[in-house]
Amino acid sequence: MKFYSSLILSLMILSSCKESSKDHEIVSTATNTEMPAARNAPQVDNIPLIDDQKDYTITPTVEGLDNPWGGMTWLPNGDLLYTEKEGQLYKFNGSKSIEIKGVPEVYLRGQGGLLDVTVHPQFEKNNFIYISYASKLGGGDGGNTTIARAVLKNNKLENLEVLYKAMPNSKKGQHFGSRFTWDDEGHLYFSIGDRGNRDVNPQDIYRDCGKIYRINDDGSIPDDNPFVEIATGIDTIGIKTAIYSFGNRNPQGMTTHPVTGKIIAHEHGPQGGDEINIIESGKNYGWPVISYGINYSGTTFTDITEKEGMEQPIYYWVPSIAPSGFAIINNPAYKEWNGNFLVGSLKFQYLEMLYMDGNRVTKREKVADKIGRLRNVKISPDGLIYIAVEGKGIFKIEKK
């Protein structure tokens, strides 16, 4: 085994954890003796927020939905797949929605239920789709985020197999994640929130939750995942080798940049401190050691926003917008919008568009202001913007 010259990043004392029998060392895959310098803190002051210019059209696509939590993924024939959090998966063929049978039982509690859905990049060859959902699998009270693959055939899921199940189960109702994205090499990424166990899960790579994961399309672990090699060392057996990044709070938006190929995610802060991060292999994104937010009660849980070995976001929001869904425009038909980031706001009920100069936000603009709690935003294969709104449905946005 190749030994890393810089193995230990920090020693987290988990005395508050009643579920864990031992403390764990947080390890790094850095190969030099000094940790690379953290990204500089982003500039967020004096960035203008522009009112809704209404220079676009909004067209209803699927109406009368309750909570279209995830999905908006497209089959090669143009049919739209979407989920309802209560446990239903649908296919919209342009005129009507058809329920997909064979969805496993979901653990419906708080933010948990049937979450995201994605299509295999080579669906035409294998008919694979992937779903994320909260389930009771694994024993113990409560549930946790689960990733499964199935064959979609005749409007039914067949040969369903669980590829990953976060443990332990918990009766807490918050922070299940969960979003999917694929990289250009066919790896599947998914997010799982900290499950409300802030002081234990995110900084411990022996534990699930508060992480972004990377697996092969069959659920196996890529050989170049950041913690695979060190997991064979003394006292490191039990590391969750599917982990790609850690120190994440509750990512409910994740996408692959259409130009750079980088994995980019945003996550909820508590009171303030929602943030956007470029997700890189083995990196620690700091939660809850560093944060730009405070407790919902108004008290503080950390006094620092920067720490060596922990990544800075490229942007953060204070006050929180409660971000959900994430997309990047890559279509010249959207004119000056092209290249911008799109983030749904649950709290303020609009689609936020961030104008980008590289990795720097230069301007913010409201789109579809007051449309409702915006749960998801995706770009269709033909480059158009689709949004999902709680209690309403799915809409298409086109530039005038």
For the cut 70, the answer to whether the pLDDT of residue 96 exceeds it is: yes
Q: pLDDT for 138-157, tens place per residue? A: 989 999 999 999 999 999 99
Question: Cβ-count burial of 154 within 10 angstroms (0-12 exposed, 13-18 middle, 19+ buried)?
Answer: exposed
Domains of the chain (ranges plus CATH)?
A: 53-65+320-400 (2.40.10), 101-317 (2.120.10.30)
Length of the chain counted residue by residue: 400
In sequence order, what are the residues at sequence separation of 6 or more whose Cβ sits closer than 8 angstroms to the Cβ of residue 111? 173, 174, 175, 176
**Spatial contact of 84 and 67, defined as CB atoms under 8 Å apart:** yes
- Tell which residue, 82, 54, 45, has the closest CA to residue 380: 82
Q: Which amino acid is at 64?
A: G
How distant, in Å, are the alpha carbons of 28, 193, 230, 310 from that of 223?
16, 24, 11, 24
Record the tokens describing residue 4, joined without a space: 């890393």
DSSP letter (8 states) at residue 10: E
Q: Which residue has the tokens 């790896």?
A: 187
**Spatial contact of 183 and 212, defined as CB atoms under 8 Å apart:** no
Q: How far is CA 55 from the centre of its chain?
A: 29
In sequence order, what are the residues at sequence separation of 6 or more whose Cβ sits closer than 8 angstroms to the Cβ of residue 273? 291, 292, 293, 294, 316, 317, 318, 320
Q: pLDDT for 7-61, tens place per residue? A: 333 333 233 333 333 444 444 433 333 334 446 888 888 899 999 999 999 999 9
The catalytic position among 24, 175, 266, 268 is: 175
- Tell which residue, 47, 41, 65, has the closest CA to residue 353: 47
Other beta carbons within 10 Å of 258: 14
State mean pLDDT over 63-79: 94
Q: pLDDT for 195-228, tens place per residue? A: 999 999 999 999 999 999 999 999 999 999 999 9
**In terms of pTM, does the model score above 0.75?**
yes
For residue 234, what pLDDT is reported? Answer: 62
266 is catalytic: no
Mapping DSSP to helix (H, G, I), strand (E, B) and coil, where does residue 51 land?
A: coil
How many angstroms separate the CA atoms of 372 and 60, rounded?
14
